[in-house]
Amino acid sequence: MSSGVTPLFQPLQLGAYTLKNRVIMSAMTRNRSVPDTVPNDVNVEYYRQRARGGAGLIISEGTLVSHQGVEWAYAPGISTQEHVEGWKKVTDAVHEEGGLIFAQLWHVGRCAHPDAPEQKKAGMPVYAPSAIAARGGKFRFLEGEPGYQVPTVIDDPRKLIGLFKQAAINAKDAGFDGVELHAANGYLVHQFFDTTSNQRTDEWGGSVENRARFALEALQALIDVWGADRVGVKLSPIGGYNDIGMPLEQTLKDYRYLVTEIDKHKIAYITMVRYVEMIDPVFDGVPRGIKHDPVESYRSYVKNAKFFPNGGIFPDEAVKLISEGNADAVVFGFLHIAHPDLAKRIKHGKPLHPEATNFALMYGNGGTVEEQHAGYTDYPAEKYD
């Protein structure tokens, strides 16, 4: 192992677990749970490869806590017994390779569509904190690409928190090692916190304390099931994606409050997403994101949890972040797509080939289960002695 990457390969005590290294695999939607949102044998192979490749911790792709009409067809769920049984095959494969895997629990809120098959299957409307539609949305499987619609206001948000708690129970039954609350990227938890999507005047809106309530109560529901040392949270104060984001001064103030309150729970980790231009939508010629450095802005407010930056990070920068105390580990997303053995490549000084990623097949290609291997499980690993 090159001494230059040694900081990435020091063990890390993460809550209840000791990670063998600090190379974390990010949650990434890949749309391969064909045909019914239940994890299948292709998903099993994908996660097995990346566990074999040496990741210190794998975060599952966003896993839906109920049937939802997301624009990502064939994203997996974790709300039925069939989902649990499908995920059990995945977690068994990861554990057989000596890996650890957390389930990222996901509700998309206003980013669902009422005409999508999974939303119809749910038998409920598209819920959100307020009746405010997000701009954008590409539901390619619906005629005319209708975009996001005005959602239905949820009367009692605790009904949705109950979905997260049941999903946490299901994740335990499925053999996961812990769970991550998806509170980022403009989805439901984020929608409650952001003033551009939450204009409620009850106990769930208005003040920062009220807007943080949903995230903190959902977090507590997961802790009640798993214990704090097996729970993480993902945040993206940079906004942008899914048409969300507050003015910079308010963002800094409100997220410092939220991070402080989350950290009081002494959870395992907080993942903080950095600004990445590639995923920042542009509306009326103006990028939507709130450009600032989450490491510089929020790292010092995390006293108990481990701090994991995510977004556009390559190994050299990851080493620097850890060496300077600005990260405890680093979450790599994009690099894990074309490199099933990413951690081993970094450790042994093997070349990286991010340009090999097949963007046309990033989110699946429809068709049969067999056809889903393309651009998913067919990236080669290096040879290691």
Residues annotated catalytic, as ranges: 187
Here the tokens at position 66 are 């109920």
Radius of gyration of the chain (CA): 19
Among 109, 222, 119, residue whose Cα is nearest residue 170: 222
Q: Report how far apart, in Å, the C-alpha atoms of 347 and of each of 35, 94, 212, 322, 370 are.
A: 37, 20, 40, 15, 32
3-state secondary structure at position 278: helix
Residues contacting residue 44 through CB under 8 Å, at least 6 positions apart: 89, 90, 93
Among 302, 305, 317, 241, residue whose Cα is nearest residue 273: 241
CB-facing half-sphere around the CA of 130: CA atoms within 13 A: 20
Instruction: Give one DSSP letter per residue of 160-184, joined into a string.
Output: HHHHHHHHHHHHHHTT-SEEEEEE-
Instruction: Give one DSSP letter per residue of 77-106, joined into a string.
Output: B-SSHHHHHHHHHHHHHHHHTT--EEEEEE
Among 338, 336, 310, 377, residue whose Cα is nearest residue 54: 336
Here the tokens at position 190 are 């984020």
